[in-house]
């Protein structure tokens, strides 16, 4: 009937009406029509080779934009592959919605094509899940998952669309009414987005008093503050009070790493000696040593700012402020304005951190100044750092993935603008690289995207370089090629025994692999480099072109070491 639409069209129309602009995924039965219809309603669909990478893209998109990233998958195995992205969103608390087709409801339990109880499968990772059991439920289900992804602490949600529901039909007039009703019920009810705010301004006054009277205060800035767009409020807080700040890896750039009050290069001194720590948008998990000795003083008083009351109850800080990071800091700034204080450059605490930072930076720069060939990790990282800084503003988004590559990059690469660093995050997830690159290129079209990847991390999603070329995204992927996980064959003679002793080591890959040739197969630009001049030339050319490229940097296979948790020696 000309005046009716099916479930695919209704779902696509609902997504567009509710503000969805981009979608990532892999099409197939029964969701191909949903993807094509979404495009016809103005949604840009980025088609991947693997749902895992598409899911990582959707999760990072949610972080970068503050809007739920949308992942579309087929049923069964497609849904299972998509769980990688959904779980990544859950761990990092980023808004995302996974939409999967599912089998015909009448065939459920009979062994239908790609049949799976997907609502149950996503349960550990989904804040809220909805299944449309008939076409008229689609708009409300779409609205609910989009809203829940943002409500309170952000996270992943799931929408199940059975095949039979996608083929059902409603009239155009009823479709419009259903969409309008869903919008009114969900988005205009006063329940949407982050309505949790400071409930007791007395707590803010207490927080200000603790900071004012502290001998060695510290402000810790996490990626939750970056998600909340708190950079202006944080800059005012830091520069008004003179309190040193320490960003977590993805909190880097909210204030420039080059700021005089940055304590990154004196991390051990800062967290080991502070007496009051204001932690904004960061959890006291493994990344911050759980807030416990011996890394932290046993007497430190934590002021924890988090959108989640449950998080504060879990960590049991000296003082907890429940609310959006930007809002809390703005209120705190007003409180401090009424009774201002500033530590000053000559304050013993500020001076101690400044001196330690200066000394550690000088030691690092002395190491970085050496041109080591065959390359170690430091020489190419310094050249890459300088090339990225040379781009100016808007600064490139840096995607960092790997073991040694990410660890060294965290210390060497400099972030000067908010939300310009994406890495393995809270979960330490490997395989996020190309998905994150694509998300960043789509979400931040004015920025160059530069991935600095280990060869192992790159391998998880390397085929997505074809996606870069297909959509002509401004992404330069730099692969640190040291022949394996942590490096090549590191086995001792005692470990090389047994009937398979002549097999490659579990950590080793093909030496000097031609990763640059992979993108050339699809029409992109590839470079292989082994000297400083070759690397500088490749970076200059690829950054200027702003076209898909892979730079294969050959590293000494014995330059790295086994790594995992954050290692800080400063």
Tell me the mean pLDDT in the region 235-243.
98
| Cross-strand partners of 171 | 4
Asked if the bond preceding 33 is cis, omega within 30° of 0, the reply is no
Residues 404-419 have pLDDT tens digits of 899 999 999 999 999 9
Which of 153-157, 202-206, 249-253 bottoms out in mean pLDDT, i.e. has the lowest? 202-206
Asked if the bond preceding 99 is cis, omega within 30° of 0, the reply is no
| pLDDT at residue 570 greater than cutoff 70 | no
Which sign does the torsion angle of CA 13, 228, 235, 363 carry? negative
Buried b or exposed e, range 262-278, using 16+ CB within 10 angstroms: bbbbbbebbbebbbbbb
Residues 418, 491: Cα–Cα separation, whole Å: 42
Angle at 360 between CA 354 and CA 361, to 5 degrees: 85
| Element of type H or E holding 54 | helix 51-65
Contact 61, 24 (CB under 8 A): yes
Backbone angles phi, psi at 28, to 5 degrees: 155, 180
pLDDT at site 164? 97
**One-character DSSP codes across 484-507:** BSSSS----GGGS-STTTTSPPTT
pLDDT at site 118? 96
Q: How confident is the model at residue 488 (pLDDT cuts 50, 70, 90)?
A: confident
Residues 69, 345: Cα–Cα separation, whole Å: 43
Backbone angles phi, psi at 188, to 5 degrees: -110, 15
In whole angstroms, what separates CA 182 from the centre of its chain? 30
| pLDDT at residue 565 greater than cutoff 90 | no
Alpha-carbon Rg for the chain, nearest whole angstrom, is 25
Other CB atoms within 10 A of residue 468 CB = 26
Q: At what angle do helices 404-412 and 378-391 cross, to 10 degrees?
A: 50
| pLDDT at residue 190 greater than cutoff 80 | no
As given in the structure block, the two tokens for residue 468 are: 């870069």
Q: How confident is the model at residue 202 (pLDDT cuts 50, 70, 90)?
A: confident
In whole angstroms, what separates CA 186 from the centre of its chain? 28
Contacts of 365 (CB under 8 A, 6+ apart): none
pTM recorded for the entire structure: 0.95
Residues 257-315 have pLDDT tens digits of 999 999 999 999 999 999 999 999 999 999 999 999 999 999 999 999 999 999 999 99
| Cross-strand partners of 159 | 99, 130
Residues 24-71 have pLDDT tens digits of 999 999 999 999 999 999 999 999 999 999 999 999 999 999 999 999
As given in the structure block, the two tokens for residue 425 are: 């995050």
Q: Considering all CA atoms of the chain, what is the largest pairwise distance in Å, rounded to the nearest integer?
A: 78
pLDDT at site 199? 54
Residues 302, 201: Cα–Cα separation, whole Å: 18
As given in the structure block, the two tokens for residue 158 are: 């799931």
| pLDDT at residue 496 greater than cutoff 70 | yes
Tell me the mean pLDDT in the region 369-381.
96
Q: How confident is the model at residue 568 (pLDDT cuts 50, 70, 90)?
A: very low
Which of 231-245, 352-366, 546-560 bottoms out in mean pLDDT, i.e. has the lowest? 546-560
pLDDT at site 532? 98
């Amino acid at each position: 009937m000309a005046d009716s639409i099916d479930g695919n069209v209704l779902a696509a129309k609902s997504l567009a009406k509710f503000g969805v602009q981009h979608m990532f995924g892999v099409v197939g039965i029964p969701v191909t029509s949903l993807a094509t219809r979404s495009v016809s309603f103005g949604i840009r669909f980025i088609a991947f080779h693997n749902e895992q990478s598409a899911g990582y893209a959707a999760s990072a998109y949610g972080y970068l934009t503050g809007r739920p990233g949308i992942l579309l998958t087929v049923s069964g195995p497609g849904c299972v592959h998509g769980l990688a992205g959904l779980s990544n969103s859950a761990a990092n608390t980023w808004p995302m919605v996974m939409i999967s087709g599912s089998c015909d409801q009448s065939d459920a339990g009979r062994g239908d094509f790609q049949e799976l109880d997907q609502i149950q499968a996503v349960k550990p990772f989904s804040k809220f899940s909805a299944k449309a059991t008939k076409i008229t439920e689609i708009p409300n289900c779409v609205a609910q998952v989009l809203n829940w992804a943002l409500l309170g602490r952000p996270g992943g949600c799931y929408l199940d669309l059975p095949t039979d529901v996608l083929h059902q039909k409603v009239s155009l007039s009823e479709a419009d009414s259903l969409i309008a009703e869903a919008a009114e019920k969900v988005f205009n009810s006063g329940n949407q987005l982050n309505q949790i705010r400071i409930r007791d301004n007395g707590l803010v006054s207490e927080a200000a008093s603790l900071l004012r009277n502290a001998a060695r205060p510290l402000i810790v800035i996490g990626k939750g503050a970056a998600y909340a767009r708190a950079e202006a409020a944080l800059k005012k807080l830091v520069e008004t009070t003179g309190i040193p700040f320490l960003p977590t890896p993805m909190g880097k750039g909210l204030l420039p790493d080059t700021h005089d009050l940055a304590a990154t290069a004196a991390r051990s001194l800062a967290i080991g000696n502070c007496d009051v720590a204001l932690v904004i948008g960061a959890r006291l998990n493994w990344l911050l040593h759980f807030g416990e000795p011996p890394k932290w003083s046993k007497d430190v008083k934590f002021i924890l700012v988090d959108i989640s009351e449950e998080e504060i109850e879990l960590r049991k800080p000296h003082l907890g402020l429940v609310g959006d990071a930007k809002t809390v800091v703005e209120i705190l700034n007003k409180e401090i304005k009424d009774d201002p204080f500033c530590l000053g450059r000559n304050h013993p605490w500020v001076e101690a951190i400044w001196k330690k930072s200066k000394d550690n930076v000088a030691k690092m720069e002395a190491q970085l100044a050496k041109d080591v060939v065959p390359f170690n990790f430091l020489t190419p990282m310094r050249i890459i750092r300088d090339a990225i800084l040379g781009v100016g503003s808007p600064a490139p988004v840096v995607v960092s993935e790997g073991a040694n590559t990410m660890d060294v990059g965290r210390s060497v690469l400099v972030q000067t603008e908010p939300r310009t660093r994406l890495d393995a995050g809270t979960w330490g997830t490997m395989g996020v690289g190309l998905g994150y690159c694509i998300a960043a290129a789509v979400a931040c079209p004015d920025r160059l995207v530069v991935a600095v990847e280990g060869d192992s991390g790159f391998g998880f999603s390397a085929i997505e370089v074809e996606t870069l070329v297909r959509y002509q995204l401004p992404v330069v992927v730099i692969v640190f090629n040291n022949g394996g996980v942590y490096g090549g064959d590191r086995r001792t003679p005692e470990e090389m025994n047994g009937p398979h002793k002549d097999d490659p080591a579990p950590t080793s890959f093909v030496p000097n692999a031609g990763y640059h040739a992979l993108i050339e197969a699809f029409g992109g630009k590839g470079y292989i480099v082994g000297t400083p001049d070759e690397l500088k030339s490749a970076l200059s050319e690829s950054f200027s072109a702003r076209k898909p490229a892979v730079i294969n940097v050959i590293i000494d296979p014995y330059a790295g070491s086994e790594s995992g948790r954050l290692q800080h020696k400063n």
